[in-house]
Structure 1
């Protein structure tokens, strides 16, 4: 609610009266310049954490000016990125998604203006789905994206039927090597936990189709656990022969650092698999799956990510002739010394303080723990000023209604809840609060 409705859309739907709003600013609380600085800071922040490439699914293309500002922020960062073109809040000025054969608006305009070369750091993705590109369109969203050279990147939370329907539509083809589905949770056929490798808990028509057609899965392990998406489907991906990439998904909700993501994947798969060894936890005697290794988790963070973003021919491995996206890790830091196993130390012991240098396309962008060519104090000042501008607009006059209390803020005017608990919104209202002792 806070991110999608208040900060992004600038309006809160009325759950009692569909199509109406409890509160509506009449605009998004942020301007294109706020999107620009957000994209820029997010990219540079992730570089300092040792992430050389990402996919931006901003859902903020309210008007063409917003899309342009976000793309410029990605390009100015010097980071390798996929701009996954998505819709925003359409108040009559959105150009999403565009149309087939039309290079003047939507994805066609963006492809022509910013993505007319494959030899650039920022490339084009498209969030259009495998159904009609828009109401009444005779072609699918996947077809529209492919027409303009975009890779397909969709967020799929529990949408197993979307995959089945996509395969049933011949317009979507059978080569899905350009398709990435993020999350892929709750795709199992049966009402059972996805914890084993048996026919009951692993059976999934959606996963079978997706694997056979060469699709890529990106799993946001720690976000899926935190945001109640469903159990991260690491085991389902492995059972169907897919090495998933790892996604932070929502940077404002959870860290984007690769060590947290790798440890999350490593530990959740092992926790579920290891628990099956104990008869008290496994009364139906389900077979315990193989445990993933640290090296496989590193490959999720590198090779699988490059493949999902369609740049494995350029980056993802240390191979002569590739473009040298390299993260140099400090093995002499006291938190891993003395190092005895590199892969094990990276996944189970290291954190962002071990990131010493980062190169993107052979250019040093982070050296000895410092961003190269950027004034970080100024960046922090600019992003903080952007936050304050947004807050002023949220607290300003609204077109409709007033902002209800309790939306992450216990005060009026609305402001960040700096010192209170951040975890009460979204709690299970049917269960009692914990009464705990140390």
Structure 2
């Protein structure tokens, strides 16, 4: 979380862990989205890591974010023995090579939000640096006010980026199937959920996305993985199941008052615009 460290935070987090996350065999699992060592003092980050580990929660942190990532703060955490396989590092764009190797050596996972990292000037998404060290990334969106919030956009972005880098550096290009795995099983692994979701495997939770193959953007259908990564978009999403429960069917969301959601979003936008004094561009 953001903001200054408060004395009540540890007890609140522990209480939430005990009362609401007593087992990992449930729909929601607990993780601590810590500010990370680039945005707080070392001692605060150390205590965040300790708090998460005392409650069995995974840790996520945004690191290597533009100029904030150039002070070797992750290296300091690594030298103190605080990095581990329970942590997912997001962005990593300006980390030094020692820090990247520390993440790999300690079994950490990484999540790249390639469109945001380029759009907001974080730095070059370091996909090739991690692939060279044998670590495959997961993909994430990060800031939905800047880029589309769907995984098709994420997959295409990282595919094009890696292939451009590979061509310049004489490296092997990744395949569309590999990128599809970044968006599925690698995401599950980064959240500590790869034993439950991420692949269509007997015994795993029935989290399914059914995609339409009869739309013109994938006609004629040839290689399925390439069709998903290169050709499809959100309009191809027909049905979505989470733990066997259908949440979207025939392209329509179920169990959601979409009009009410739009109203709340518009009201929130109007409040922020009014308070900030920002002038919305005219249509």
Q: What is the TM-score normalised by the length of structure 1?
A: 0.59
CA distance in 2: counterparts of 1:300 and 1:159, whole angstroms: 27
Structural RMSD (CA)? 2.4
Distance 1:120 1:159, change over 3 A: farther
Q: Secondary structure at the match of 1:311?
A: coil
Of residues 68, 92, 95 in structure 2, which corresponds to 1:187?
95
**TM-aligned CA deviation for residue 385 of structure 1:** 1.9
1:366 aligns with 2:272: no
Of residues 384, 391, 396 in structure 1, which corresponds to 2:266?
384
Distance 1:205 1:353, change over 3 A: same
Could you say which residue in structure 2 is the equivalent of 1:270? 163
**TM-aligned CA deviation for residue 354 of structure 1:** 0.6
1:238 aligns with 2:131: yes
For residues 98-117 of structure 1, give each alpha carbon's deviation from its aligned partner in whole angstroms, at most 9, with x where no partner exists: 23xxx3x3x22332343233
1:313 aligns with 2:195: yes
For residues 187-243 of structure 1, give each alpha carbon's deviation from its aligned partner in whole angstroms, at most 9, with x where no partner exists: 24xxxxxxxxxxxxxxx2112111111100101101111000001111111011111
Distance 1:302 1:159, change over 3 A: farther
CA distance in 1: counterparts of 2:248 and 2:58, whole angstroms: 28
1:344 aligns with 2:229: no
Which structure carries more helix by proportion? Answer: 2
**TM-aligned CA deviation for residue 184 of structure 1:** 0.7
Of residues 264, 278, 281 in structure 2, which corresponds to 1:414?
278
Could you say which residue in structure 2 is the equivalent of 1:116? 22
* Larger CA deviation: 109-118 vs 219-228: 109-118
Could you say which residue in structure 2 is the equivalent of 1:143? 50
1:127 aligns with 2:38: no
Distance 1:178 1:377, change over 3 A: same
Could you say which residue in structure 2 is the equivalent of 1:207? 100
Whether the 8 Å contact between 1:111 and 1:148 is mirrored in structure 2 is yes
Whether the 8 Å contact between 1:97 and 1:134 is mirrored in structure 2 is no
CA distance in 1: counterparts of 2:197 and 2:258, whole angstroms: 27
1:162 aligns with 2:73: yes
Question: Which stretches in structure 2 are left out of the alignment for 5+ residues?
Answer: none
Question: Which stretches in structure 1 are left out of the alignment for 5+ residues?
Answer: 1-85, 189-203, 277-286, 396-412, 420-438
Distance 1:236 1:136, change over 3 A: closer
Whether the 8 Å contact between 2:37 and 2:45 is mirrored in structure 1 is no
- Higher relative CO (Cα under 8 Å, sequence separation at least 6) belongs to 1
Structure number with larger C-alpha Rg? 1
Whether the 8 Å contact between 2:118 and 2:124 is mirrored in structure 1 is yes
How many pairs are equivalent? 277
Whether the 8 Å contact between 1:159 and 1:184 is mirrored in structure 2 is no
Whether the 8 Å contact between 1:160 and 1:206 is mirrored in structure 2 is no
Mapping of residues 87-98 of structure 1, within 5 Å: 87-88=2-3, 95=6, 98=9
1:325 aligns with 2:233: no
Distance 1:215 1:139, change over 3 A: closer
**TM-aligned CA deviation for residue 136 of structure 1:** 6.2
